[in-house]
Amino acid sequence: MMRIKIKALLENPQIGSEVLIKGWVRTFRSNRFIAINDGSTINSVQAVIDFEKEDENELKRIATGASIEVVGNVVESQGSGQSIEIVVKSFNILGDANPEEYPLQPKKHSLEYLREIAHLRPRTNTFAAILRVRHAMTFAIHEFFNNRGFYNIHTPLITATDAEGAGEAFQVTTMDLKNVPLNDDKEVDYKQDFFGKETSLAVTGQLEAELAALGLSEVYTFGPTFRAENSNTTRHLAEFWMIEPEVAFADNNDNMDLAEAMLKYCVQYALDNCKEDLEFLNKRLQDEDKSKPQIERAGDLFEKLEFVANNDFERITYTEAVQILRNSKPNKKKKFQFLVDEWGIDLQSEHERFLVEKHFKKPVIISDYPANIKAFYMKLNDDGKTVKAMDILFPGIGEIVGGSEREERHDVLTQKIKDQNIPMESVWWYLDTRKFGTVPHSGFGLGFERLMLFVTGMGNIRDVIPFPRTPKNAEF
């Protein structure tokens, strides 16, 4: 007999038919009711056994976490909470789970505890829901770009350029760390290393995406990104996934339109396709809210998602943002940790949160930042002091997207590279695109896990990626 997945069974139950299901035991009540889940849906199916007919030793093996296959008849359910159940004809335990040792019990575990047993998290309702939403968001992103004629580009994960110049990259080497070869100047001799030069894991795929866009017009990357930033926040991972579109013949306004459309598309996709999982996650949030003071409450997840899907984002310039912040209550009352007075400061997350959560109460796109707080490749405005950058800030998240129009003028870009002491020999190929057939172009980076935080309502980025990589943590 062919196995039927629980999702398919519940969506189209054939009352009276015989089915084979396989999954993991969630609960076993009254020696009679087995809740079985196979991960295809948040819902478990109830299998009912006649314990008087079964072997006692076999019955004992039906425990939370055990894997099981069941053959039985589909009937309308007697109990409330489910429409159908399965009357068991025969069952077979595929793998035992000793209740004395199995770390997951049929009760609510803390997210902190679950992080310590991340190898078993996919067996929980919460993480299975998050992983299904993660899949849906991945699919939505590819669909969004495919519908618009973008090509997906695979950019290298090992790179010899440090584009952001931030010095937060992981080194890649095959050298023997106990016996590192030195040159005559007593510096590390990377010529003897695997690639013959210093290499690291990519902090972005942007530069290579630009090369592809300047031939294919519209491309995007969707891959892992690595940053050795030792900031233990709820918004940063050492390994995260980033979506980076790059569009030829597009200016920074087109760039904002694209990013806003993409975010709305993803949120709407989740509303349309992940209803049951989001309902489950929302219920979790509402339960948690009950024990929280008013200002810390997450609020209703669906209201938040629908608001973003259906309302235009606020668009302001950096200069306008500084003006608002300077005159704001928390600034005047010295409530900000970093007070805002002079034009040119980098906005801190407390400032971003004020603008999004208190002032505008909606997503905000800030554009035209001071040149000296942004990367070298961003296009200089005619004022000579700001660049065509744009960051998108989301409620509860902060920065979700960072992007810009790229500097396409060969002479201006060369000067900026010199000013920032970026070694010319590591970016000669990037400059070549400005030398030959250059065009205006723009792009941005969306942090996939930040989008996941927003869509699921989860509070910690470690809980929206299957196996998080953070400082001092690379288990599993």
Strand order in the sheet with 158-159: 158-159, 199-201, 171-172
In terms of CB distance, is 141 or 400 closer to ligand ATP? 400
Q: Residue 404 Cβ, how far from ligand ATP at the closest point, in Å?
A: 9
Q: Residue 155 Cβ, how far from ligand ATP at the closest point, in Å?
A: 14
In terms of CB distance, is 224 or 330 closer to ligand ATP? 224
Q: Residue 345 Cβ, how far from ligand ATP at the closest point, in Å?
A: 14
In terms of CB distance, is 36 or 375 closer to ligand ATP? 375
Nearest 10 degrees: CA dihedral of 97, 103, 107, 108? -150
Say if residue 309 is exposed, middle or buried (CB neighbours under 10 Å; 0-12, 13-18, 19+).
Answer: middle
Cα 56 to Cα 32, 50, 98: the distances in Å are 12, 11, 16
Contacts 24+ apart (CB under 8 A), 72-77: 72/18, 72/19, 72/47, 73/16, 73/17, 73/18, 73/19, 74/9, 74/13, 74/14, 74/15, 74/16, 74/17, 74/18, 74/19, 75/15, 75/16, 76/15, 77/46
Distance CA 141, CA 214 (A): 22
Q: Residue 35 Cβ, how far from ligand ATP at the closest point, in Å?
A: 35
In terms of CB distance, is 65 or 443 closer to ligand ATP? 443
Interface positions with ligand ATP (CB under 6 A): 227, 229, 235-237, 240, 242, 399-402, 445, 447, 449-450
Distance CA 394, CA 451 (A): 9
Q: Residue 166 Cβ, how far from ligand ATP at the closest point, in Å?
A: 8
Q: Residue 205 Cβ, how far from ligand ATP at the closest point, in Å?
A: 11
In terms of CB distance, is 319 or 348 closer to ligand ATP? 348
Total Cβ atoms within 10 A of residue 310: 10
Q: Residue 349 Cβ, how far from ligand ATP at the closest point, in Å?
A: 8
In terms of CB distance, is 50 or 346 closer to ligand ATP? 346
Distance CA 167, CA 156 (A): 18
CA angle 36, 37, 42 (to 5 degrees): 135
Tokens describing residue 429? 């190929």
Q: Do residues 387 and 404 touch, judged by C-beta distance below 8 A?
A: yes
In terms of CB distance, is 235 or 326 closer to ligand ATP? 235
Q: Residue 148 Cβ, how far from ligand ATP at the closest point, in Å?
A: 21
In terms of CB distance, is 227 or 264 closer to ligand ATP? 227
Q: Do residues 123 and 100 touch, judged by C-beta distance below 8 A?
A: no
Distance CA 434, CA 254 (A): 21
